[in-house]
Amino acid sequence: MRILLVILFVMASNSYAETKQGVLLDCENSIALQKKYDGLIHIARINEKKQEYFDRASYKLLSELNLDRLLKILLEDQVVDFKLAGIHLLLIDTKGYMKSNPEVMSVVKNYQDRIKLYNPAYDVYQVGSIPDKPVLGPYLVDKYKWMINSNNSLKDIKSTAILPLNFNGNLKGALILLSKDVKRYQPTLGTDFLEHYAIRLQISLENSFAYINQ
């Protein structure tokens, strides 16, 4: 009888231990799942804020037809808004339209250290180095510094984003975002927001040039 009681006690103890262990595992799994869920919610909220931020920035560009004010928003105001070291603009001027237009040039001269007009006819090899998709990474500025029309030192630039400007399938130039933070533009960073921003910028530029020609 005693042996039977001992056996029953051991079995009950084992069953209790297994139940307790199962409860603990369930709790640990629940905590892990909750942390994963909280992490996903956090990322979603960050992306939502980024989307709102880029939307506001790009709508400012789209709402401005005056070229001078458009360039001020892009090259001055949004440098502060984005907390960047600088924003530069490369515009392809294949037929010399911009350089032959006094109104355009009078505006471009106000930002000549941040805008470069590029005519492929004089250097056909360079245009091939403009990426057709966004390129991000540390220390890219050395590779693409030919796009930047600036006398300022670029030695403090630690990461760069190169965004091609396309309109109706035609390459029109590039937007160059410069940061002193080496982690700001990493190759693994998603580019959806930046691509949408670049598209809206290109539309804004085309609208401004069309407005001048009216």
Query: Which pLDDT score is estimated for 122?
Result: 74
Cβ(95)–Cβ(89) below 8 Å: no
For the domain spanning 65-212, the CATH number is: 3.30.450.40
**Per-residue confidence at 205, pLDDT binned at 50, 70, 90?**
very high
Cβ(209)–Cβ(101) below 8 Å: no
The domain locations on the chain are: 1-63, 65-212
Query: How far from each other are the two terminal CA atoms of the chain, in whole angstroms?
Result: 107
List, for residues 86-145, the tens digit of each pLDDT value.
999 999 998 888 899 999 999 999 999 999 998 887 776 677 788 889 999 998 888 898
Percent of the chain with pLDDT over 70: 73
